Structure formats: structure tokens, C-alpha cells
Chain A
Amino acid sequence: MSTTSPATQGLARRLLAFEAAHDNATGVDGAARVIEELRLQLIKLAGIEGFRALLSRALTLAKAEVPSLNMVQVSADGSLEGFEGIEQSQEAAATEHAGEILVAHLLELLVTFLGEPLTLRLVRDKSPDASMDGSDVRTEEKP
């Protein structure tokens, strides 16, 4: 069971679904794309080091839930390395789950540090067409 809140997981799922619908990017491709877009947003705000530290923390937390992520690393510029290896090693559903968990942990960290409204604003900037109201992030609690 994920340690992220259901609301954050829901948000992660919607972001991935948005990528799948708009760019036909699914599985690790979708997750990699979501994270890359967040990276471009966040390095402007927090710098490369700042984003790299956040993503590294998110990856560590996600690895505890999805061991297959152990082959993934964060590179010096804050991008992900080795993500495509997961896709080759397991089934599509498991791959999708791994990507979702990682995105959820990154979002959860942003909510922890910046709060939900600012996180949602960053996410909306990434995908302005995506329909995401934050009500579920606010009201749902961790199981």
C-alpha cells in the first residue's frame, strides 16, 4: 500500500492520464514525461540542485514501495536515468504502477513543502488543460 495520500495518488493518475490522452505516452514514458515537465517547471523555481534533491527523495520513498525502481537514478541535471529498463523487465500494469508511485511521491513532497494550492498551481501550469480541482487533495486523508 502506498504511503502517499489517495488524493495525491489521484492527482498523479490524472496527470498520467492527461499525458496518455494528449501525447499518447503511457507506462514509463508517461511518467517520465510528467516528471520531465515538472522538472522544467521546478528548476526555474528551485534550481537544478533543488529539484534534484526533491526527486531523489521521492525516488527513495518510491523504491521502498516498488523495488523495481531500484534501477532508476537521478542524474546531475535532475532528469531520470534507467527508467526505460523497468518497462523491459516487467508487465505493463506493473510499469504503470511504478511510474504512478514515483509521480505521487514527488507531488506529495511538493504538497508537504509548498502546500496544496501552490502545488496545484504548478501542476496546472504544466498541463493547463487538465481538469484538476484540488478538492480531493484537500479533503481526503491518508488511509
Chain B
Amino acid sequence: MSVQNRVSIQTLPTGVPGLDEILGGGLPEFSFNIIAGAPGGGKTTLAHQIMFANATPERPALYFTVLGEPAIKMLRYQQQFQFFDQTKFNTSVRFINLSQVVLDHDLEAVLEEIVKEVEAASPGIVVVDSFRTVVRKAQSAGSDVELQGFIQRLALNLTSWQATTFLIGEYDEGEVRDNPVFTVADGLFWLSQQIDRNSIVRKLHIKKSRGQASVPGLHTFRITEAGLQTFPRTLGLNDQEEKPRGHRRLSSGVPELDEMMGGGIPEGDSLLVAGSSGTGKSLLGTKFIVEGIRQGEPGIVAMFEERPGEYAERAASFGLDLVTPQKEGKLRLLYIRPLDLSVDETVREIIDTVKELGAKRLVIDSLAGFEMALAPGFRTDFRESLYRMIGALTRTGVTILSTVEVQETFTGFTLSAYAISFLSDDILRLRFISINGQLRKMMVVIKMRRSTHSIDMREYEITSEGFVIRDRLTGYRGLTTGVPGPWSDERGDTHAPKDEPESNQ
């Protein structure tokens, strides 16, 4: 059969932000699906959201309730969600209680009742909640063959009546194998939640999706008053072309640093600024953002430690105005710290803001704070998450400056605790050095992926004017250790730096 003659499988919108992308375009029409997971996982809410998104008077949705949560109680809670359109109740969305049929009769009667209602209403969506009860009924009768026959006939009837079906059930992972329900299903939505101390991490896994290439892996989701919102691992960028990198160099706002970097930060790059507390990482990020605004490039600062007010106040003490550009819509200070975030959720928020603002510059201050803001369950794969995050953000064309806290030692020259330096196009290292009884500061460009750069280690100071970068530090050895000594020549004679007294050596 030629490609042109193949039947095309239409898709329905799920009404759940992010889920259509995870499913590879939406719900396959007339598919027979299972929504499974533990109690409290969001199964019923997901089914309601899908149902309200698709039900119309012509193609209503039928929601069969079976010995699970009482229907009136379910409606009491479900109507709290924004997607619950009360005008659809009992017209486009109809609830039918099958409890008595299940209690009093056999599966044959249950099937008859469902088919009778389906034939009368010609629904577009059918939900059976909880289907697990129906299965238990069959199992208690001790007939697996009867159950298999029932499921097969149910699927046959509902598909023939052009209904997209969802069976809701409380299952655990071990039950998937050899269960006829899962064999017949076209789609299997698995919802799970992991509770770690005070945080809940919810995850969705499309274990099976016939006829459609869903995005593999676990996707996080959140339940809010709007219902479910999923955060695909693809971060909403699946269908978007990567923005080509420009050839411009963006000024950091510190001319001497631009010079050290070969003319500024290449547009679209990810620059990592590593240093210990007090070395001026946040100030450099602020300079970068303010310089961008001065040049007409909107910016975002995603902060995880300080609050926006404090951040703006500190910038003001250096004569940097972060208030006016916020009012003018050129700057957004994103404070993200609910302590149970997923990386995907955070990145989603940042990407949405980048698009909304048309941002050209982004500061992430800091990665250590970001890690702390994540739910403990997400910290374990933080490095992998950062890899996806930086990749996703740079695809939007925004130029990123991330700060990272480095625990300073006076023996080595670490770049970050996460071994993430490979993720960055460019790395700038700030560090304290001990010279002549003073704790001074030094900066050096470690790497510029696409250009040459200065290899000078330059002392700098932070004054009320901002960064004052001095000349290259000469006459020292071991500057990278933080405790430099005088440089020795081949004969072993030491040569003190010009500004150093002999007693220091």
C-alpha cells in the first residue's frame, strides 16, 4: 500500500498543557486507552480534563462510574477545576452510574448497559472509572476467559461506535504483564507520584501508544486549580527549529572583560561564571543584563536565592537600575523557589518568559540555588537535567550567563561542583588569591568555544562603580592555587613582583 493510501489517524486534543506534545500530536481518535496508577495520582482528573476538552452536544462524553468514588462526591471535587465547564454537565458530559449493575449482575450485563448508552448517545469520549472494579468482579468469578472476552467486546463495540475510550484503574507496575486489559489497550498512561520529605514529584509515563510516536521517558506534571499540566522532556521545543546563532558579540557591560573574551560573549552562547561567594558573580550577571537593556535587548534574571526586590536593591547600590526596565517590559526578574520544582517545569517557565518578552539575554543566578529549589527526587539527575536545560534554552537563541558557586580550595582550581563545564560554551573563573596579607580577586577566561581569548589572569576589584579590572598579574607562580609565590628563574633566583615587598616571599 502506498503512503498516500494509508489510513490517517486523526488526533484529539487532550486539553492538558504539554500532553499533546508528549503523545506525539494528541490522542489517537477511536483509541482504547488505560489511565493507570496509584490512588491520588490524578487519574480521574486527567480523564475529566480530556473529556471536557472534547465533549460537544453532538459528540458527548459518557462517564461511567463503577463502585469507585461516589459520583456526587467526584463532581463536588472536580468542579473546583477551571476546566470543569458547568454548562456541559448533563448535556455534553453525562455521568452514568453502573454500580448497581456490577453488584447485581455479571459482566455481560455491564457490557450491555454500556453498549446501550453508547448506542443512544453516540459519544466521542467514553470513560469507565474505575475499571479495576469491573476486573475484580470478573476475577472473583474466577474466569479469566470471561474477562478477556468482555474486554475484547468492549473495545470492539466502543471503537466501532467511533468512541475514544479511557479505562481508569488502580494498578501497580507488577500487574502490567499478562494482564488482558493491557494487551488490548492501544494506549497506556501511567501516573505515579514520589513523596520525598516535604515534596511531591508527579510523573507521567506513556508506556504504550499504538500508531503514534510518543516522547519516551518520565515527564513531570503538576496538578493545580487549572487541572493537570505536564512538562514534556522535550520542553516544548520539539516542533521548533533551532534559532541560528548570530555572529555578534554581546558586551558583558565590562569593557576590559569583553576584551579578554575576544570582543564579548558570542551571541547565543552559554557562559558559565564560576567563583566562590563574594567574587562578584551576581554583579557580573546584573551588568550583563543592564548592558543588554541599554542596547535594546530585553533580559531575564532567573533567581533562586535572593528575592527580586533585594536583587534590584543590590543592583541599585552599584548604580544599576533594574526597576525601570521591569516597568517598561524589558526585564523580568523570575523568582523561582517553591522547593519542589522539576527542571522541566522551571525551564518551561523560563522559555515561556523568553518568548513573551522576546528576551535576548538570560542570567541564571545561581545553579546551586536552582538545585536547592528542586524537589529532592530531581536532584539525583541534576547534571543530566542541566544538560537538557542549557540545550533547550540555547535553542531559543537567547544568550545565557549562569553563575555557579565553587567551593574554594587553596590547592586546586575547580570549575564547578557539578562537572558541568562541558555544557558551557564559555567559562570565566573568578577566584580569591592570597597576596601580601590581602585576599584579592582574580579573573581568567578558561574557555571560549568558538574563538580565541586572553589567557591573562587579571586582578580585579569591585567598587561602587562596579568592576575595575587591572593589568595581568605578573611575577607570581601558582596563581590558580590561590596562594601564589614569587616566580623563580632557571637559576633558582626569585623575582618579586614590583608591588610586593621582599618580606612576603
Contact of A113 among B65, B76, B97 (CB under 8 A): B76
A46-B100 contact in complex given A115-B79, A122-B90, C-beta closer than 8 Å: no
Contact of B70 among A50, A117, A118, A122 (CB under 8 A): A50
A25 contacts the other chain (CB 8 A): no
Chain B residues with CB under 8 A of A43: 97
In the complex, what's the smallest C-beta–C-beta distance from A128 to chain B, in angstroms?
11
Complex alpha-carbon distance, A43 and B79, angstroms: 20
- With both beta carbons as reference points, the residue of chain A lying nearest to B97 in the complex is identified as A47
Complex alpha-carbon distance, A114 and B95, angstroms: 13
| CB atoms of A45 and B72 under 8 A apart | yes
| CB atoms of A47 and B99 under 8 A apart | yes
B71 contacts the other chain (CB 8 A): yes
The size class of the interface chain B forms with chain A is 10 to 19
Chain A residues with CB under 8 A of B100: 47-49
In the complex, what's the smallest C-beta–C-beta distance from A51 to chain B, in angstroms?
9
| CB atoms of A50 and B97 under 8 A apart | yes
Chain A residues with CB under 8 A of B79: 114-115, 118
| CB atoms of A117 and B72 under 8 A apart | no
Chain A residues with CB under 8 A of B95: 44-45
| CB atoms of A46 and B86 under 8 A apart | no
A138 contacts the other chain (CB 8 A): no
In the complex, what's the smallest C-beta–C-beta distance from A10 to chain B, in angstroms?
21
| CB atoms of B76 and A49 under 8 A apart | no
- With both beta carbons as reference points, the residue of chain A lying nearest to B104 in the complex is identified as A48
Chain B residues with CB under 8 A of A115: 76, 79, 86
| CB atoms of A114 and B76 under 8 A apart | yes
Contact of A50 among B71, B89, B90 (CB under 8 A): B71
In the complex, what's the smallest C-beta–C-beta distance from A69 to chain B, in angstroms?
23
Query: Chain A interface secondary structure, helix, strand, loop or mixed?
Result: helix
A121-B99 contact in complex given A50-B71, A113-B72, A113-B73, C-beta closer than 8 Å: no
| CB atoms of A114 and B72 under 8 A apart | yes
| CB atoms of B90 and A46 under 8 A apart | no
Complex alpha-carbon distance, A50 and B95, angstroms: 13
- With both beta carbons as reference points, the residue of chain B lying nearest to A125 in the complex is identified as B90
In the complex, what's the smallest C-beta–C-beta distance from A52 to chain B, in angstroms?
11
In the complex, what's the smallest C-beta–C-beta distance from B19 to chain A, in angstroms?
26
B455 contacts the other chain (CB 8 A): no
Contact of A44 among B72, B75, B89, B96 (CB under 8 A): B96
B66-103 contact mask (Cβ, 8 Å, vs A): 1 or 0: 00001111011001000000100111000111011000
Complex alpha-carbon distance, A47 and B99, angstroms: 6
Taking CB atoms and an 8 Å cut-off, the chain A residues in 15-72 that contact chain B are 43-50, 54
Complex alpha-carbon distance, A114 and B86, angstroms: 11
Complex alpha-carbon distance, A114 and B89, angstroms: 11
Chain B residues with CB under 8 A of A113: 72-73, 75-76
Complex alpha-carbon distance, A47 and B72, angstroms: 10
| CB atoms of B76 and A46 under 8 A apart | no
Chain A residues with CB under 8 A of B75: 45, 113-114, 118
- With both beta carbons as reference points, the residue of chain B lying nearest to A116 in the complex is identified as B86
Complex alpha-carbon distance, A46 and B63, angstroms: 12
A117-B86 contact in complex given A44-B96, A44-B97, C-beta closer than 8 Å: yes
- With both beta carbons as reference points, the residue of chain A lying nearest to B95 in the complex is identified as A45
In the complex, what's the smallest C-beta–C-beta distance from B74 to chain A, in angstroms?
10
Chain B residues with CB under 8 A of A45: 71-72, 75, 95-97
Complex alpha-carbon distance, A22 and B457, angstroms: 95
B341-368 contact mask (Cβ, 8 Å, vs A): 1 or 0: 0000000000000000000000000000
- With both beta carbons as reference points, the residue of chain B lying nearest to A54 in the complex is identified as B72
- With both beta carbons as reference points, the residue of chain B lying nearest to A114 in the complex is identified as B75
Complex alpha-carbon distance, A122 and B86, angstroms: 11
Chain A residues with CB under 8 A of B70: 46, 50
- With both beta carbons as reference points, the residue of chain A lying nearest to B79 in the complex is identified as A115
Complex alpha-carbon distance, A122 and B97, angstroms: 15
- With both beta carbons as reference points, the residue of chain A lying nearest to B73 in the complex is identified as A113
- With both beta carbons as reference points, the residue of chain A lying nearest to B76 in the complex is identified as A113
| CB atoms of B86 and A118 under 8 A apart | yes
In the complex, what's the smallest C-beta–C-beta distance from A105 to chain B, in angstroms?
16
In the complex, what's the smallest C-beta–C-beta distance from B345 to chain A, in angstroms?
31
| CB atoms of B89 and A121 under 8 A apart | yes
In the complex, what's the smallest C-beta–C-beta distance from B371 to chain A, in angstroms?
43
| CB atoms of A49 and B99 under 8 A apart | yes
| CB atoms of B97 and A46 under 8 A apart | yes
In the complex, what's the smallest C-beta–C-beta distance from B119 to chain A, in angstroms?
16
In the complex, what's the smallest C-beta–C-beta distance from B6 to chain A, in angstroms?
41
Chain B residues with CB under 8 A of A117: 86, 89
A118-B89 contact in complex given A46-B70, A113-B73, C-beta closer than 8 Å: yes
Output the residue of A44, A46, A113, A117 with the most chain B CB within 10 A. Answer: A46
| CB atoms of A47 and B76 under 8 A apart | no
Chain A residues with CB under 8 A of B99: 47, 49-50
A70-96 contact mask (Cβ, 8 Å, vs B): 1 or 0: 000000000000000000000000000
B34-74 contact mask (Cβ, 8 Å, vs A): 1 or 0: 00000000000000000000000000000001000011110
Which 7 pairs of residues, A with B, have the shortest CB-CB distance? Answer: A47-B97, A47-B99, A117-B86, A45-B95, A113-B72, A121-B89, A46-B71
What are 8 residue pairs bridging A and B, where the CB atoms are less than 8 Å apart in the complex?
A: A44-B97, A49-B100, A50-B70, A113-B73, A118-B90, A121-B89, A121-B90, A121-B91
Residues of B near any A CB (own CB < 8 A):
65, 70-73, 75-76, 79, 86, 89-91, 95-97, 99-100
Residues of A near any B CB (own CB < 8 A):
43-50, 54, 113-115, 117-118, 121-122, 125
